[in-house]
Structure 1
Amino acid sequence: MARARLLLCLTLLVVTAGCASPTTSDPSTATSPSTATSVASPVTETTAGTTGSPVPSTRPVATATVVDVVDGDTIKVRFEDGTRDTVRLLGVDTPEVYSENTPDEFEGVPDTDAGRQCLGRYGERASEFATDRLAGETVRLGFDENEGRRGYYDRLLAYVYLDGEQFNYRLVAEGYARMYDSSFVERDRYADAERAAQEANRGLWSCVTAVADGGTTTTASDGETADFGDAPLDVTVHADAAGPDGDNLNDEYVVLTNTGSTTLDLGGWTVADAADHVYTVPDGTTVAPDESVTIHTGEGSDTAGELYWGRASPVWNNDGDTVTVRDGDGTVVTTETYS
C-alpha cells in the first residue's frame, strides 16, 4: 500500500513539473526577435515621421505652359490636360505694380514718396523681366511641403523652372524681388541670395538710396555724391546683328550715352546681361555730356568711343534680355530690359 502511495506521489510530481516548465514550441511558430521588431516598427516610423521628417524635395513634378504673366511673381498657366491655374511663385515678393508699395517690407528702403516710386519702377521691371523670360514658355513646377499647395486667393504655390533653372531664385539673386518671409524649404539659400543683392545694391535694393527726383544716390570714390538713377546714363542695345549673330559679333553692341551735365568716368564699371556675362570697362574710359561709348561683343582695338568685349559668341538675346550697369563699387547705376 505504501509502495502504491509512493508511486502515485512521484507521478503527480512529474506531471506538475511538466506543467510548470517551458515547453519547446515548433520553430515554425516561434516568435523571433526580428518578428517582434517588425511588429513594433510601424509605431517607430510614425513617431520619427512627426518629429523629424527629411527636407522635402522641391524638384519639378508638373509641366505647364505660361499663358499670361500677371506681374513679377504671379503667372497663369495651362497644364497638359488643358486645365488652367494661377501660380504664385514661392519664396519671393516683387514690388507692386497695380497698387502702392510699402517700403517697410523692403529692408532699408526709405518710407518716402521717392522710395515708393523707386519700388514701383522695379515692380514694372520685374514684370517685364518675367514676361520676357516666361510668357509662352513651357515650364516645370515644383512644390514645397512646408507651404502647402494653395495660398491666398486659392493660387497655386510653386517653384517655376525654366530650362532647368529655378526662376524664383533668379528673381531674388538679380534684385527683382525680396525673399518672402515664410518657412519655405529654400529659405536659407534665398536669404544668401538676397543678402548678396543687398550688398551690391542690385536691382530694387538701389532704392535704399532713393532721392526725391526719382534717381538714387551713391557715394563716389572722392566722397562726393553722384546722382545716377534712370538719368544721366541712357542704355540702348542692338542685339540682332545682320546675318547670323555668331558671324557678325561686332554688329551686336550696347551704347551708353551720358545724358547728364558732367563727364562720367566709366573706368572699372561693368556691363552684364541677365545670364551674368560681365564686361569691365577699361580704366581711363570717360564719356562727356551728350557723348556715347559703344561696347561691341566681338574683338577689335579700343578707341575713345568704341570698345570691344572680345567674346567668341553672342551675348545679348534677340528675344529679350536685361542690361545691368554697375559702377566700380558694384552699385547698380541703371538697368534696361528690352524685348
Structure 2
Amino acid sequence: MLRRLASLATSVTAAAALTVAGLPAPAVAASVACRPVAGSPRCGVWTGTVAWVADGDTLLVDLNGDKTHTPRSIRLIGVQAMEQHVYSPKPAKRRGDCHALEATARVESLIRAGKGVVRLTAQKSGSQSRDRPLRSISVKINGKWRDIGEDLVRHGYALWLPFAGEWAWDSAYELAEAEASAEKNLMWDDDYCGVGPAAGADLTVWANSDADGDDGSNLNGEWIRVGNRGSSPVDVGGWWVRDSGLRRYTFAAGTVVPAGGAVYVHVGKGVDTATDKYWGLTGPIFTNVDPVHHSVGEGAYLFDPQGDLRQSFVYPCRVRCGSPLTGKVALKVKYGGVEKIEVVNVSDQPIDLQGHVVVSRYQYRFEESTVLGPGESTVVPLAGGRAVLDDRGGEVRLQTSDMWTVACRWWGTGKC
C-alpha cells in the first residue's frame, strides 16, 4: 500500500505567516521537462525572485505574473531539512536542530550565486504542503540550471522525501542520498553534532515498509527494527527514529537494545514491552516500492539525542549493494501440489540468513540469527500453510532487507 503522506508539522513562524491566502494565481505556466534527462515527464514552469530563505526546504518567492509583489512561501519538492525553530532573514537570529541552519545557509549561498532569480517546476500546479505550493526550485549558475533540492540531498544537508504526485525527482534524489551516505557528507557524519552516547556501538536499522496483507489494516506489521550486533547492551533512551517526513518516535529513558538482539518500533498502537514499542500512529507511513505508480522507495533513520544520524535504512539499495551470502545460497522451489521453498547453503562455510527476506507472493523475513552449516537447508514457512505459488509461472527471490537480490528461482512465465 502506498504511504499516504501526512502533512508536515506546523509551527507559528515567520515563514508560515508569509503564506498569504487568496493571492492571485501566477500566469498559466509553460511546460518543460521536469529533469534534463531522456524520458522525463513534463512539468509546469514558473519564475520568480527570492525575497529570503526561511529554512532549508522553504523559500519566500515573489512570483512573476501573479500581479503582486507579495512573496509566497514555497515548499521544496523532494527534500526534508532538519527542523529550524526560529526564523529570520538574519542568520544570527536563527535557531534550530543540528544541521538545520547549515541547510538554510546552503540554500542562501545557491540563491546568491544565481542572483536571486529562480525557476520553479511541478508536475501538478495544485501540489501543496500545508497551504504552500510544492515546487522544485533551480538557480542558474555559470549558465546552467542547478536543482537546489538535489544539491541539498547530494551534499548531506537534507534527507530525500517523496511527495505523492511529484515523483519526477525521486530516483535522482534517492541516488543522491545513497551517494551522500556512502561519502559520509555532513549529516551522514555520525559525530558531526558532537561525540554522542555509545560511540562505536554496532547498531543496525531495518524498516519493514510492506506489512503482510493490507498495510492500513496491519499497522503493526510496519516497523523499524534497531538491532545490536555488538557484545554489550546499548541504552537508547532519548534516541529517536523517524521516516523521511517529520514523524519521529523517541525512545523512553531506560530503553536498551540487548547485545545480539533488537528493539522494534511498530507503527500502530499496542502495549510497550522491553523489545517492542508502539508509535501509536493511525495510518501507514512507509512508501512501498511500486514502479507502476512511480513509487521508488524511502527510508528510516536513527538519531542520537544530540541530533547525529547514527544509522539509516534506505530502500531499495542503490549504492554499494551486496550480501555476504552471494554465491553461497540456492533456492529450491516446489510449486505444484504441496508447496515448498527451501534455502540451501551451497558453500563450505556456515552462513547466517539474518537480515534477508524470501519474496514471492508472500514474504518471509529472517529477522533473527538463522545459521546454516555447509549443505544444510531451512524450509521457509508459508502463509499459514496456504498456497502462495502460481503453478503457471512465477519466481522466488532471496533478497537483502534493502531489496538487493541474492538468489532467484523461476518457473513457467516467471522471470529472474
TM-score (ref. length: structure 2)? 0.36
TM-score (ref. length: structure 1)? 0.44
Indicate the structure (1 or 2) with the bigger Cα radius of gyration.
1
Q: Which has the higher contact order (CA 8 A, sep 6+)?
A: 1
Specify which structure has the higher proportion of helix.
Answer: 1
